[in-house]
Structure 1
């Protein structure tokens, strides 16, 4: 079974269980003081397998389903199955670390969801196919590179504005990690991306 489908299945099952069991949610969610004081470092990963509600889970898992397979084939070819797993887990960690350092003494801060790792996969995919059409909210067609620019601008604005329940920082850092990690694995993608971008 493809690793992407295993991740989707695991995340779906655990998310549904945590939505029904508050104690399980409390053990898995990202809560900075538990990491800083309790040394519960597993929370830097487990927060990515729980979600706030069904819609949150659905959007992340559908995005992972549509784009994860492509990155899985790339990373498996380059580094083996473990390479893809490490890329995904790395996306979870890299996307949440800035939030950890910013809120590590804040007992009221919590974060959850796979959005950071999913952003890593989506932005890495755009390196390969910047002009491919993707469906915004799975409905509105848009070139992937245009979506990426709009997504970054929106996330930066919303992060600076503050408030709300969405960790926009995780989206931005996840996307940056996805691009950086993929370029480390295959530096020639820089030239491919530029050439493809200039020749739609």
Structure 2
């Protein structure tokens, strides 16, 4: 992991340039951030543009480092163009799920590439579930599929309890996007990783069951 493909480089550059424009231009930031009232008023471009803005340098750096480490898995096992489909599709699904959960909160706003990056992470896990991840606060390797399931379960917990100033729903939506798009692009996974497909689907099913029950 960690090779810089040209597509990954372009996406990182776009995020950096647009985010820094937003850091220094409040009007630009407000015009293109995710904002429920404005989107429902017809400004659907915000569903896409908000994914290239960030709240601060730390937020930007974390997302871009994560993208850098996981993008190569998806590019290698799919292709650069298919990776781009995963990235953009996950960004949009993340924004749409966020809109679905906050549709009656007209003042709700958010920014960040986290939905797109979550989709890339989930795609990489689906394509290579046996890889191990090393997290800086845990000294032992974690199987990728356990991390993916745990990540989404934490996102559900975060959505339910409104933990932190974090768009947990966009993260979750991005992961759903990465999951579905990867399966569409790689139907061979149903022959090789059917059990893993089922396991990774469990948190997604749980989310919509809880939503239907009014628990979220």
The TM tier, using the shorter chain, reads: 0.7 to 0.9
8 Å CA contact 1:3, 1:72 repeated in 2: no
TM normalised by structure 1 equals 0.86
* Alignment partners' CA distance in 1, 2:130 and 2:121: 13
What is the aligned length? 192
Q: Which runs of 5+ in 2 are unaligned?
A: 198-216
Q: 1:189 to 1:22 in 2, by over 3 A?
A: same
Query: Which position in structure 2 is the counterpart of 1:111?
Result: 110
| Residue 22 (str. 1) matches residue 26 (str. 2) | yes
Query: Which position in structure 2 is the counterpart of 1:177?
Result: 177
Q: Which runs of 5+ in 1 are unaligned?
A: none
Query: Which position in structure 1 is the counterpart of 2:39?
Result: 35
- 1:83-138 CA-to-partner distances (Å, cap 9, x unmatched) read 43333111111011122133334332101101111111111111122121212258
Residue 164 of structure 1: how far off its partner (Å)? 2.8
User: Which of 51, 56, 59 is the equivalent residue of 1:53?
Assistant: 56
Q: Bigger CA drift: 160-169 or 188-197?
A: 188-197
What's the Cα RMSD here? 2.2
- 1:23-73 CA-to-partner distances (Å, cap 9, x unmatched) read 111111101111111x11111111011111111111111111111122234
Residue 192 of structure 1: how far off its partner (Å)? 2.1
For residues 124-135 of structure 1, the aligned pairs below 5 Å read 124-135=123-134
TM normalised by structure 2 equals 0.80
Residue 150 of structure 1: how far off its partner (Å)? 1.5
Residue 7 of structure 1: how far off its partner (Å)? 0.1
Residue 4 of structure 1: how far off its partner (Å)? 0.9
8 Å CA contact 2:86, 2:177 repeated in 1: no
* Alignment partners' CA distance in 2, 1:138 and 1:132: 18
